[in-house]
Structure 1
Amino acid sequence: MKQTVLILAALPLLAACDPAAKPDAAEDQCGASGFQGLMGQPRTALDQLVLPDGTRVVGPDDMVTADYRTDRLNIEYDRKGVIHKIGCY
């Protein structure tokens, strides 16, 4: 009985050791994973790139529509002009 309780108590700890899953292809429809190297770079680094059609480059005070599109690449930068978020939404 004690052994069973001990095993059941250890299961959550073992689950925590499971490696993080790779992003699902559906979560990366816009190709954001290919642009993650831009994180922490200045916004001006985007000037040298050809971005996919429909990409939104969003600053801290920019207004954007609230529609959720997993096929649209969004790149956000902060007030210092540093890219801090890249994703499909």
Structure 2
Amino acid sequence: MRKFFLLAPAMLAACATATMAASYPPVHGVTPGHSCTTARTQRFIGRTRSQAVRTAIMRASNAALLRWAPPGVMLTMDYRSDRVTVHLNSANRITSIKCG
């Protein structure tokens, strides 16, 4: 029995899997090749929220992520240079577009 307790850590270590190098982009951080700019997005102010508008804003801003911000919704304060935030009014019309 005593030998079992002495060998148990070695047996458990043999069962452990080796850590592999991450081949996926990190969950947090900036998406390579994407940096948001709002210079070409102001034409969407006043438009109604839709999938087509979302796609067009993402193309115009070069953002990797788009975040809708309806009125009264709390947003995280973390800044991401690859994200565009689209603020909406109660009628789902765009009131402002900002990076971050």
TM-score by length of 2: 0.50
**1:60 offset after TM fit, Å?**
0.8
Structure 2 distance, partners of 1:56, 1:73, is: 6
Larger radius of gyration: 2
Q: What residue number does 1:17 align with?
A: none
Give SS of 1:43's match: coil
Q: Please name the residue that 2:91 is paired with.
A: 80
The one-character-per-residue Cα deviations of 1:16-40 (angstroms, maximum 9, x if unpaired) are xxxxxxxxxxxxx412222111001
Structure showing greater relative contact order (alpha-carbon pairs closer than 8 Å, 6 or more residues apart)? 1
Match of 1:40 in 2: 46
Identity, in percent, stands at 27
5+ residue gaps, structure 1 = 1-28
Of residues 32, 36, 53, the one that matches 1:30 is 36
Q: Which contiguous aligned blocks of 4+ residues in structure 1 show a shift greater than 6 angstroms?
A: none
Q: 2:65 aligns with which of 40, 54, 57?
A: 54
Gaps of 5+ in 2: 1-34
TM-score normalized by structure 1? 0.55
Figure out how many residues of one structure are paired with residues of the other and give that number.
59
